[in-house]
Chain A
Amino acid sequence: MAILRRVWHLVNRRRFERELTREMQEHRDQMADPSRFGDPHRHLERSRDAWGWNWLDDAAQDLTLGLRTLIASPAFAIVATLILSFGIDLNITLYHMLQAALLRPPAIKASEDVARFLRSEPHSTSTSVSYPVADFVKQHNTVLSAVLVETSSNVGWGADASEQIEGSFVSTNWFDELGYGPVRGRLLNDALDGNTASPSVVLSFTFWQSRLGGDPNVVGSTVYVDRKPVTVVGVAPKGLPGLDFDVPDVYIPITQRDYFYPESTLLRAWNSDSVAMYGRFKSGTSRPVVREALRSTMQAISREHREISPESWLEPLMANEGFRRPRERREILTIASLIALLTSLVLIVAAANLGNLVMSRATGRVRELGVRMALGARRSRIVRQVIVEAVPVVALGTLGSLVFASTASTLIARMVALPPYLDLSIEWRVVVVAIALASLSLLVVGVLPAWKVAQQHLIDAIKDGGQDVSRALDRALIRRIMVAAQVAGSCLLLIVAGMMARSLQRVLQTDLGSTTSARRCCRFRLDDTGSPATRRDRSGTPSRIASKPIQKLTMPPSSPRRHLAAACSKPVMTWRHV
């Protein structure tokens, strides 16, 4: 209660002090000799002490003085703010990008219960599972409340399939389980889209906006996906995340895959790991329980299907851990830590540089500080003054760093084409990190110089013009340490930057053992089984698509020989590089 009363007084201080002044005036008027009342201003000052806020007044005075000093030296203010902004900005941009792109769980409903499943065996792991396995698990398990599957591939858009877009074949519970509703029309659901003659598709918000101009009449229209007519039933919301960092343009029920690719075996091949499988844990179920329960399910599958190893199991990777294995998370954090080490070095150099500047400025003001001490200011007050004067610089630097971080994040996201659903707005954690770094900077920029300046015989500086104190400050160990930190940090950064540039140069100059000037590269689609894909032309006649781009390859006329080499690896998706 007492603290509330004091805060209330602070908030209404002007009114209370007006009343006290009026009260004292009434008192004075009643006295036979009003001159014996004394100085009302002094009484008011002493009355303020009773509420315990005088320290705040002193700090406000110092802050005002600091701001005035800054305004009087705009060049110093701008340089200091930029130095600190840059130092803090590098660190928080790194943290911000890491947080937004890698560490923050996907923005889905109850993400703590969602896991991605890897098909694991004692000596191998696949990030995908076969669709029949996922479907079997969906039908025969007691630990998952929902199973979701997804597989992406490029699909042709338009009646002539002239444009390639990203198609995402998803289970019909995809949107419900991720917790998203439609922007237009409806999204996919089990009842309506399980298995219909004419499949329904949902467009992504970005595709709808950029490709179709946000056409409000798109719902119900017929469009062509891989030359097959489908009905657009809705538009997904803008923030719908891709769980695998993908950015689909169109969502298609996976159960309708045969409609598009009658020869595809994706829905029936038990040994073809081709879909990403996700599951939502039932309430109160832990990861080990789910792993063991699904191990039994996999053993049940292996008894009926020899192609599934009885030793295989489904390893859950939690959404809140970014669907990453502990080893992957450690690797990311190790790399991030190394980069953070370099960015923190930049901050150390910036803070040391600014600390030196502040100390130099204080050296030029020792007479002023000496006069304050001679007028009764305690040493602690001088320390506080120098620290508080540095606060506006640090505050402006922090604000500038947040603005820079926001701009830098947006630019980086554009440059590396990060998915649009990633939320790059500055969140409270970034602000907290920026304030924490600013507080550490204040130690170097404010506290160290203040402590060192206040240690000097400032009153003596009034007599000799501050020459002795200036010399003492110039020779101070802390100043030498700050200079050494700047030089060492800058050299280290230059060396690391030089090494990285040299490494990059060497990579670019590495002799591959053959010339690359007479090479061309193309890629084309293969079907689900990995065999050369066929595509039907307008008349329905199948043709090998692989042969066309190869025939069209043009080589420079100067090329002495025309060789064609094909490099095939185990297909990761439905593409192979040739």
Chain B
Amino acid sequence: MPKNAGLPPGTLIMLVLRVLRPGPLHGYAIAQRIRTLSSDQLSVEEGSLYPALQKLLANGWVKAEWTTSETGREVRSYRLTAKGLKQLDAEKDDYQRMADAVAAILESA
């Protein structure tokens, strides 16, 4: 198993919003989706995930509702709101700009 790298600082909110874009997910599924999509390179600490989800709720970027999962468990699913979608775009732009700037420095002579 590759070494777990955690998450780059300041990217958790963006990644959670991103994995919620296709459809609602519950907390455990969000953590799994991030791990899967990053080919096990990134993992979310539960101690960071739930405060982040509360922040998303507090800002109105997601809505939560209790549903039944595929395994028949009662889970709370988070659904992206229109405001959350806008936030995702803004976070992506910021991150891209930052990544480009870092890359430019790294690739410089």
A interface, CB within 8 angstroms of B: 1-2, 5-6, 9, 19-20, 22-24, 26-27, 29-31, 36-38, 42-44, 46-52
Contact = CB atoms under 8 A, between A and B. Distances in A.
B109 interface: no
A544 to B, nearest CB: 91
Interface stretch (B33-41, B68-76, B85-93, B96-104): B68-76
Contact of B47 (A29, A30, A43, A52): A43
Interface residues of B, number: 22
A51 B51 CA distance: 9
Contacts of A26: 26-28, 73-76
A2 B50 contact: no
Given A23-B27, A26-B73, A27-B27, A9 B58 contact: yes
B24 to A, nearest CB: 14
B11 interface: no
A487 to B, nearest CB: 54
B60 interface: yes
B28 A27 contact: yes
B46 interface: yes
A33 to B, nearest CB: 12
Given A26-B76, A31-B28, 5 more contacts: A6-B58, A26-B28, A27-B28, A42-B47, A51-B54
A19 B57 CA distance: 13
A42 B46 CA distance: 11
A38 B28 contact: no
A50 B27 contact: no
Contacts of A23: 26-27, 50, 75-76
B59 A43 contact: no
B109 to A, nearest CB: 44
B54 A50 contact: yes
A46 B60 contact: no
B45 interface: yes
A9 B66 CA distance: 17
B74 A47 contact: no
B28 A46 contact: no
B35 to A, nearest CB: 12
A19 B28 contact: no
A47 B27 contact: no
